[in-house]
Structure 1
């Protein structure tokens, strides 16, 4: 007698095959990261910013926008600085440039005055002041990449820092120290310190500044606060896109704002003595690195300043300063 296949076995096998097939169709796919916006990238790596303040004129050390007083005329920014402190809302400009291997994010912090607390006869002060930091972020397949290093602007000198575990080494420039990280807004992010009066920027040294007046600024996408005083330890600063419509870059040829390429117009203290990011310059870099490259061609600067770069591209897929 021939073996007969029981009907219930056929049905069971068919049901099992159907179940397995549906399971394959409904299995969750590997996560795909949507491209982060420039604001999202800037917020992710925006530093916790320690601003030293001087008790002889606390509010002259508050960061704000170039047009904090409602206009783009930088010849009145010194005089208007102390007219209404409520206008000194904390803001920082950012720009993002991109290659196939990295994002470079520049943060620019503006003060209406670069000042001293002694008679200087106009030799050591100037109207307008902008200094900042550039973050080096490797694309690693994640939404926001991996922080590899930082270059800060301290007047006419640039300083290089790397976080613990970074592969970057010194090359033409030595590594000046460690870029410490702090937790805020759900992220571990870089930290910076800005001196009072002259406003040069270096990496934060880890101090809590007990007994010292310091404003601690924390990044925000949409909130700009005014410090309650020179020792306010929690103030939000708003990130403002350098390339925004009618923003800082849009005014690059505005003679009310700039006296020459990248140099703010000012007539208190030394005339025309402050620069926007595309005018920053390290005085001892020589001819290999031209003025402004920290913002306009950061990949070139990084290729000269740092070694052990790994996979590294100098071709921009996006660069609002040149494209």
Structure 2
């Protein structure tokens, strides 16, 4: 009887210890999840605060431009699937509007934030018939890296940007940033526009190829262009090629099942870094494969450095940064979270 009671007492004790450990682990996981969600909510607010007003030039000539639709920004899965090799054809379907988004990510050091914005088009196209397939390709992704200095404010001060224009990067500074030329010459000064109390940088993308520069250096030709404004919740489609107020929704590259998670999906990406295609010459690179063809080979300057090592790239492109850390406290591209 005593032996039975002893065994029962030991089993209760062991069960109690195991349950306490389980509860402790569950609590830690729950706390970590809450912290992660808080951080991601802040990063969304941060990305929204510094997101650009984006001017998209539109060309409605030629059959491949789809009366301007081929120049509208949208999702890479606008057609409801994760097959990148049917986007060229599917965007021509009149029932598929292709609502506007910008994919974003945030990398952080103790002194700065680095926010990437990426804009997708199903077609990089031309209206010159003898260049069909030669100067065109299915899928297109160009973007912007915004440099934000931490200060006493909640969201910091945006100092400048680096834009992706095919295989070239262009750098621009805010008028009061104090930035000067680094190993690369600064290409101009940014202009801004007030959006409900927020002065936003103005960026601009060319028609057809969709390379991006500062609006001050690349303005739409003619009256046929669309102006996109950022939103945390709303994704809209232009009503026509003259629409001057279209919302693009910010979509986190690191959302569960998002662009980063899909990098090994061979229907979507080739070699985990370039969009698959079924048409044309050339490729659309993911942000972690963007590259300037002639800015050198140091850390941050190789293919993908803008995403993986943005502080290193910015340190090469600009001087006048002040106190500047290149140690990442949050960098999901490198697994630092």
Same fold, judged at TM 0.5 (above): yes
Among candidates 109, 116, 133, match of residue 144 of structure 2: 133
Divergent runs of 4+, >4 A: 206-211
1:121–1:196 Cα change, 3 Å: closer
1:207–1:254 Cα change, 3 Å: closer
SS in 1 for 2:311: helix
Aligned to 2:5: none
Q: Verify the 8 A CA contact 2:184 2:317 in the aligned structure 1.
A: yes
Among candidates 19, 40, 57, match of residue 52 of structure 1: 57
Among candidates 316, 323, 337, match of residue 304 of structure 1: 316
Aligned to 2:82: 72
- Note the residue ranges of structure 1 that are not aligned, 5 or more in a row: 1-33
1:257–1:142 Cα change, 3 Å: same
Shift of 1:230: 1.0
Q: Does 1:39 align with 2:44?
A: yes
Shift of 1:208: 8.1
Matches of 1:85 and 1:262, distance apart in 2: 30
Q: Verify the 8 A CA contact 1:182 1:188 in the aligned structure 2.
A: yes
The RMSD of aligned alpha carbons is: 1.7
Within-5 A mapping of 1:248-259: 248-259=259-270
Q: Does 1:322 align with 2:334?
A: yes
Q: Does 1:100 align with 2:85?
A: no
1:209–1:128 Cα change, 3 Å: closer
Within-5 A mapping of 1:277-288: 277-288=287-298
Q: Verify the 8 A CA contact 1:59 1:85 in the aligned structure 2.
A: no
- Note the residue ranges of structure 2 that are not aligned, 5 or more in a row: 1-37
SS in 2 for 1:63: coil
SS in 1 for 2:334: coil
Aligned to 1:169: 180
SS in 1 for 2:145: strand
Q: Verify the 8 A CA contact 1:92 1:237 in the aligned structure 2.
A: yes
Shift of 1:309: 1.8
The superposition leaves residues 200-226 of structure 1 with CA deviations (integer Å, 9 ceiling, x where unpaired) of 000012898694211000001010011
Q: Does 1:244 align with 2:244?
A: no
Matches of 2:48 and 2:192, distance apart in 1: 14
Aligned to 1:5: none
Matches of 2:148 and 2:274, distance apart in 1: 28
Matches of 1:199 and 1:248, distance apart in 2: 20
Matches of 2:185 and 2:285, distance apart in 1: 25
TM-score, normalised with respect to structure 2: 0.83
Aligned to 2:278: 267
Q: Does 1:195 align with 2:206?
A: yes
Q: Verify the 8 A CA contact 1:78 1:127 in the aligned structure 2.
A: yes
Query: Number of paired residues?
Result: 289
Aligned to 1:111: 121
SS in 2 for 1:107: strand
**Structure (1 or 2) with the larger CA radius of gyration:** 1
Among candidates 137, 144, 155, match of residue 144 of structure 1: 155
1:164–1:278 Cα change, 3 Å: same
Shift of 1:121: 4.2
SS in 2 for 1:215: strand
TM-score, normalised with respect to structure 1: 0.86
1:109–1:137 Cα change, 3 Å: same
Aligned to 1:8: none
SS in 2 for 1:39: helix
